[in-house]
Amino acid sequence: MRKQIEESKQFGIQGFCKDLLEVADVLNRATTSVPKEELSDKNPHLKNLFEGLTMTESQLHKVFEKHGVVKISPKEGDAFDPNYHEALFQVPTQDSESASKIARVEKIGYMLVDRTIRPALVGVFKA
């Protein structure tokens, strides 16, 4: 009974967290789409907007961490793990050692404490 109460306290925010993940994705897309060469004193409005978006994104991730939400950020070449990754497509390869490894990361995933609330969306190599 105590375990159930503790789990409901930990995972009661899971639905809310899942909804905020889309906000985090939009903020990330916004900050990564700005060309770095445009962030200069010649374009102060864009520079200020970019800094505001980066601070908002940073604050959102601090709140995530405070509540136990952490990123699943696989790298290309990491082993595919179905507990943390979802394969969207396969990429043919001649290298048998690369088979079942991550070829491309489409979207990072997230965990709430020790539970995957959104797997990282990846492409995997297929021999």
The architecture (CATH level 2) of 2-126 comes to Roll (2.30)
Do 78 and 102 touch, CB atoms closer than 8 A?
A: yes
What's the pLDDT band for 45 if we cut at 50, 70, 90? very high
pLDDT digits (tens, 9 = 90+) for 89-120: 999 998 888 888 999 999 999 999 889 999 99
Q: At what angle do helices 14-32 and 44-66 cross, to 10 degrees?
A: 150
Do the bridges between strand 115-118 and strand 109-112 make them parallel or antiparallel, or are there none, so unpaired? antiparallel
Q: Which pTM was predicted?
A: 0.81
Give the chain's radius of gyration (CA, Å): 18
Mention every residue, 6+ apart, whose C-beta is less than 8 A from residue 16.
none
Q: What is the mean pLDDT of residues 17-21?
A: 91
